[in-house]
Amino acid sequence: MSGEVREADPVREPDAEPGGSTAAGPARGWNPAQGQATTTLLLRHGETPLSAERRFAGRGEIPLTAPGLRQAAAAADRLAARRGIDLIVSSPLLRARQTAEAVARATGAPLQADDGLAELDFGDWEGLTIAEASQRWPAEVTTWLGNVDAAPPGGESFAAAIIRVGAALDRLLAAHQFRTLLLVSHVSPIKIAVCRALLAPPATLFRFQLDVASLCEIDWYADGPAVVRSLNDTAHLRQDGR
């Protein structure tokens, strides 16, 4: 990439309190933005055997299914047609890397990994459906669904993930100001980024759907609001029947 990298100067909101709002993004309120945006395109990985069965898929090295590879190719074709992607940053997990590599081949954009974009660690719930986890850990699942500080047994809480993903966003927005970044990640980190942009409370994480291989787009302004331009966009999958 060319051009000068300038230091970001975000205006921050307070960090999240339990049950309160998510960690802050680089914008406060709805003051009009005067400058140029840093754009993040957020791509969820394609289908895996666990996502097809709606099972917890955290830190396991799970490959894409054949449909998942086709979904990644469809997303890659769409992003190649869009042009202007300066950098692809992927979760280090296999399913995200496979998706990101398809886009890198199609666009020619450089690709790097960032541990901050990894999925939540679901601990002992890895590979289970929520119904199966509820049978074995009924109280823990109920608490987890209502409290971002609660973690699956042996896993990571949403509160911890909010801090981790927020730190990754801070690094990337500061290092690549005014660029267009494609972040290839998972349900939880993408939802955290969207909630941060909307200044939405953590409970919002459970209130919207992100399909496999879906795209979201957020513009981040250092001198104004973050703007969510699209959410769970799967037009590229509908067009190709994937």
Strands 87-90 and 111-113 come out as: parallel
Class of residue 54 by CB neighbours under 10 A (exposed 0-12, middle 13-18, buried 19+): exposed
Residue 43 sits at φ, ψ, to 5 deg, of: -115, 120
Q: Which of 13, 47, 119, 236 is catalytic?
A: 119
In SS3 terms, 45-111 reads as CCCCHHHHCCECCCCCCCCCCHHHHHHHHHHHHHHHHHCCCCEEEECCCHHHHHHHHHHHHHHCCCE
Is 119 an active-site residue? yes
Element of type H or E holding 188: helix 187-198
Q: Is 45 a catalytic residue?
A: yes
Distance between CA atoms of 151 and 116, rounded to whole angstroms?
18
45, 176, 186, 236: which is the annotated catalytic residue? 45
CB 127 within 8 A of CB 55: yes
Biggest CA–CA distance in the chain, Å, is: 55
The strand pairing partners of 82, in sequence order, are none
The radius of gyration computed from the CA coordinates of the chain, to the nearest angstrom, equals 17
Active site members: 45, 119
